[in-house]
Structure 1
Amino acid sequence: MEINPAVTFRHDRSIMYSKRPKVLIVGAGLGGLTLGMLLHKAGIPFDIYERAPVVKPLGAAMYFNCTTANLFKQCGIYEEFSALGKYVSAIKMCNEQRSVEFSMDFEGHEQEFGARGYMITRPALYDLLMRQIPKERIHLGKKVLTMDQGGNGVLIRFSDRTEAEGDILVGADGAYSAVRQGLYAKLKKAGKLHPSDLLPLPFSTVCLVGQTRPLTPEEFPDIAQEQCQMRRTIGTHKMYSWSTYNTAQNTVAYFLIQFLTGESSKDNDAFKNSEFGPEAVLAMCEDVKDFPVISGGDQKYTMSDLFAWTNKEHISKFMLEEKVLKTWYHCRTVLVGDACHKLNPAGGVGPANAVQDAIVLANLINGLPFHPIAEEIEAAFKAYQEERMPWVKDAHKISQTHRTMVGQSFASKSTRYVSKHIPPWLFNRIQARAFSYRPQVAFLPLAEDNGRVRPAPQPSLYIKGPVELEKKMSYTV
């Protein structure tokens, strides 16, 4: 396939058969899988390419609430999703003496915003999403080397010497996206890249995440609790905070955040990769092994007990970058999730925003005419970024606030004090803004949203696909 942006031709759709654009998705993470599931339901051809040769059960757990519930309802998997998760009614902020300092409560969310919040393990959610996608559409061991795009399509080349051709390229491959790097390199050379996007991803924290084997209530009493016991401990004189969650699979998921100083940050290279090797993982485990853990019983556990219950290959160490990029698309290429906005996980809003990206982008891709030209595709990407950007900026602020809350600075202590003593009316007002954005899929039957706080406007919800428009026209003739 020849990719030449200079190639132009008469685009007469009246003599062409109905053809939806072929979408190439790089990255089988949360955003990529969600988009693939939605494109499959829309009848739009797609393929997902993942650089990892096998899907490993890495990661801990992710939090999803009313802002993504409509998607799962529309796709007919909400009951299974909620059964795989644990209902979260509060975040309990704890100290090293294993007592609760204060609690951030979410009771009443179902009445206010139409759905509860659930903590679900990453492997369970990924398995659920992958079962919604035909197996032949997911290709593992596909490391992107180069990408080209132009007026007549996109072409990506992989390290195994294979190629893929399509009409749209979606970079859903994380904070160090190969798609973004290829796109930005070309834009930089052409002098079209925003100056702030030339800067490296800033980071000030490192995270250690894992999940134990299934435990019994005798081993860890929280396992018997029907609700997720979301406990976040703040180190007294340590540059760390750590959180634990009991899951529906009877495991304990955990993540620790280390706040880097100027010296310790020099030990890490933000240009290489966000994941560290096994030696670095074991070294951090050794550093934090004595940190106290609350079990829900009388046992005086520490992190070393959780590590002992965990397959060491399933513990990961990551850098926590934070940046909302200015450039999300160009021509036939577009970015989603961490590839265009990396949010600190302290706020728990990153996964939900990746899902919301996929919803809006799927709506706009579905709204493209048959045989779309590059200008029409780019216009859809522009509408996608314009709808998502304000909400992503809000999410970035939330993640920064939560990151500050679990730190050791004066600002951290002030933020915790304010959070502990915030008036209920103000807390409810903040939540109303954060949870009003509850996007839905335009081409699926709408989910009933009975929340007292009505959903915020969603422009992409009113986008009609070419098949729907043809049907509407045939009815009026």
Structure 2
Amino acid sequence: MEINPAVTFQHDRSVMYAKRPKVLIVGAGLAGLTLGMLLHKAGIPFEIYERATEVKPLGSAMYFNASTAPLFTQCGIYEEFLAIAKPVFTMKFCNEDREVEYMMHFREHRELFGAEGYIVSRPMLYDVFRKQIPKECIHLGKKVLTMDQGGNGVLIRFSDGTEAEGDILVGADGAYSATRQNLYAKMQKERRLPAGDCLPLPFSTIYLVGQTRPLTAEEFPDVEIPDCQFRTSVGTNKPYAWKTFTTAQKTVCYMAMQFLDDESSKDNDAFRNSEWGPEAAAAMCEQVKDFPVVSGGEKKLTIGDLINWTSKDFISKVMLEEKVFDTWYDCRTVLIGDACHKFNPSGGVGGSNAMHDAIVLANLINGLPFHPIAEEIENAFKAYKRERFEWVKKAFGNSAMFRTMAGPSLPAKLVRYVAKHVPAWAMRRAELRILSYRPSVAFLPPYEDKGTHKPVFQPSLSARAPVETEAESKASAEASPKSSSEEESTAKAV
């Protein structure tokens, strides 16, 4: 198939068979899997292409609040999610003496928003999502080289010499998205790319992340507590902070964060990539091994103990970039998740926002007419960005604040002081603003939100599939003659 950008179709849908657009998804991460799961439930053809030959969802734990409860419930996986997750009722901020300096409380989230927040092991969550997608729809070892798009479709070429064609291309391939790079290169050549999108991804931190084997109560007493023991420790006179989380599987997930200055940024620039992998982790393990952690017992443990309880395959070092791109789509290509907005993980909102992107985009793709032309597809993408962009910017700001809170700088100390003394009503107000956005899937059974603080209006929830639109039009047409006949009978009777 050759893509000619100049080709457009003025087709007559009345003489065509009903055909939904075929969606090509690049990236089998959380964003790509969520979108694939939703398209599968909508009956929309799709394929997922992943560059890795084996999907290894490395890393630590992920946090999901009430804003993703509608998705899990509507897709019928909420109970499965709860079975592998642990509720989070408090977040404790500690010093190097293992003392709790202050706490943030989330116990009222179920009453306010209909669900608690949960910590879940990243690899286990991926398994839940992958089971929702037919195996034949996920293709591994597919590294994207080039892409073309135009009025008659999209075409992507892979490094193994194969090609794939479809109607819509979704870049869900992470911070260093090949889809975005191809798209931006063409737009920049045509002088259509904003200057800010041409700049490299900025970064200020690197992370060591890992997850231990299941631990006993003797080794780490906190693993027996029903709710997640979520602790953030801030280094004294050192550019480090670290977090620990207990999971439902009695493992301990941990993240050690190094704040970079100009010199350390240069030293670590060689590790800049979008892959969660164990490479280069050994040196950082040595740097952080003596940092104290709280276990709930009298024995004084360190991150080194957690590292010793962790398989090397479950430890990785990553560079954490932070940026919200301005360009999210063009023609038949659209970006979701880290490909268009990369958050620092300190805020714990990267995964949920990737899911929110997938929900809104799936709603709008499902609302496209049969045989959509490029203009109709791009209009759907425009509506997707319009709904998501402001919420993404708010989430980005919150993530940056949580990252700053754990830092060694004077502004960080001021933020921690304010957080420690902020009135409860002010904290509640911030939570109400953030968690008022709880998007639902338009084409699945409605979600019954039991929170006292109802979700805000969601534009994409009104999107309807073409079959639904046709059925509504037919029902309306059938009802009209009946109404006229009834009016005539009434007039005659009078």
TM range (shorter): over 0.9
CA distance in 1, matches of 2:277, 2:173: 19
CA distance in 2, matches of 1:244, 1:154: 44
Q: Is the 8 A contact 1:200 1:270 kept in 2?
A: no
Aligned residue in 2 for 1:254:
254
Aligned residue in 2 for 1:91:
91
CA distance in 1, matches of 2:333, 2:398: 28
Please say which of residues 49-58 and 369-378 is displaced more in the overlay. Answer: 49-58
Deviations 1:149-194 (A, max 9, x none): 1100000111111111100000000000000000000000000001
SS at match of 2:317: strand
Residues matched between the structures, number: 477
Indicate whether 1:407 and 2:403 are aligned. no
Aligned residue in 2 for 1:453:
453
SS at match of 2:209: strand
Q: Is the 8 A contact 1:57 1:314 kept in 2?
A: no
Aligned residue in 2 for 1:359:
359
SS at match of 2:231: strand
Indicate whether 1:102 and 2:99 are aligned. no
CA distance in 2, matches of 1:297, 1:367: 55
Deviations 1:74-102 (A, max 9, x none): 01111111111000001100111111110
Deviations 1:332-369 (A, max 9, x none): 00000000000111111111100000000000000000
Aligned residue in 2 for 1:121:
121
Deviations 1:121-142 (A, max 9, x none): 1111000000011111111111
Listed as ranges, the matches of 1:34-73 within 5 Å are 34-73=34-73
Q: Is the 8 A contact 1:18 1:370 kept in 2?
A: yes
Q: 1:223 to 1:278 in 2, by over 3 A?
A: closer
CA distance in 2, matches of 1:57, 1:326: 28
Letter in 1 for 2:203: F
Instruction: Select the structure of larger CA radius of gyration.
Output: 2
Indicate whether 1:237 and 2:237 are aligned. yes
Please say which of residues 199-208 and 3-12 is displaced more in the overlay. Answer: 3-12
CA distance in 1, matches of 2:439, 2:316: 32
Letter in 2 for 1:431: E
Letter in 2 for 1:136: E
Q: 1:139 to 1:228 in 2, by over 3 A?
A: same
Aligned residue in 1 for 2:384:
384
Letter in 1 for 2:204: S
Aligned residue in 1 for 2:143:
143
Indicate whether 1:14 and 2:14 are aligned. yes
Letter in 1 for 2:261: T
Offset at 1:55?
1.6
Letter in 2 for 1:220: F
CA distance in 2, matches of 1:272, 1:291: 25
Listed as ranges, the matches of 1:242-391 within 5 Å are 242-269=242-269, 273-275=273-275, 278=278, 280-391=280-391
Sequence identity (%): 68
Offset at 1:474?
2.5
Please say which of residues 267-276 and 201-210 is displaced more in the overlay. Answer: 267-276
CA distance in 2, matches of 1:57, 1:461: 31
Residue segments in structure 2 that go unaligned for 5+ positions in a row: 479-494
Letter in 2 for 1:34: T
CA distance in 2, matches of 1:194, 1:271: 27
Letter in 2 for 1:291: F
CA distance in 1, matches of 2:410, 2:271: 31
Aligned residue in 2 for 1:214:
214
CA distance in 2, matches of 1:276, 1:66: 26
Offset at 1:223?
1.1
Letter in 1 for 2:439: P
CA distance in 1, matches of 2:220, 2:314: 20
Aligned residue in 2 for 1:416:
416
Offset at 1:237?
1.3
CA distance in 2, matches of 1:6, 1:344: 40
Q: 1:66 to 1:155 in 2, by over 3 A?
A: same
Aligned residue in 2 for 1:182:
182
Q: 1:279 to 1:377 in 2, by over 3 A?
A: closer
Q: Is the 8 A contact 1:21 1:44 kept in 2?
A: yes
Q: 1:276 to 1:284 in 2, by over 3 A?
A: farther
CA distance in 2, matches of 1:316, 1:473: 55
SS at match of 1:141: coil
Q: Is the 8 A contact 2:57 2:276 kept in 1?
A: no
Q: Is the 8 A contact 2:57 2:126 kept in 1?
A: no
**RMSD across aligned C-alpha pairs, in angstroms?**
1.2
CA distance in 2, matches of 1:472, 1:341: 37
Offset at 1:279?
5.4
CA distance in 2, matches of 1:425, 1:114: 19
Aligned residue in 2 for 1:79:
79
Offset at 1:276?
7.9
SS at match of 2:433: helix
Q: 1:66 to 1:212 in 2, by over 3 A?
A: same
CA distance in 2, matches of 1:8, 1:434: 42
Q: 1:276 to 1:460 in 2, by over 3 A?
A: closer
Indicate whether 1:173 and 2:173 are aligned. yes
Please say which of residues 365-374 and 6-15 is displaced more in the overlay. Answer: 6-15
Q: Is the 8 A contact 2:59 2:276 kept in 1?
A: no
Q: Is the 8 A contact 1:200 1:271 kept in 2?
A: no
Aligned residue in 2 for 1:472:
472
Offset at 1:272?
5.4
SS at match of 1:400: helix
CA distance in 2, matches of 1:54, 1:46: 20
SS at match of 1:98: coil
Indicate whether 1:431 and 2:440 are aligned. no
Q: TM-score, normalised by structure 1?
A: 0.98
Q: 1:59 to 1:379 in 2, by over 3 A?
A: same
Q: Is the 8 A contact 1:293 1:300 kept in 2?
A: yes
Q: TM-score, normalised by structure 2?
A: 0.95
CA distance in 1, matches of 2:242, 2:470: 54
CA distance in 1, matches of 2:272, 2:416: 34
Offset at 1:274?
3.4
Please say which of residues 260-269 and 458-467 is displaced more in the overlay. Answer: 260-269
Offset at 1:9?
3.2
Letter in 2 for 1:14: S
Aligned residue in 1 for 2:485:
none
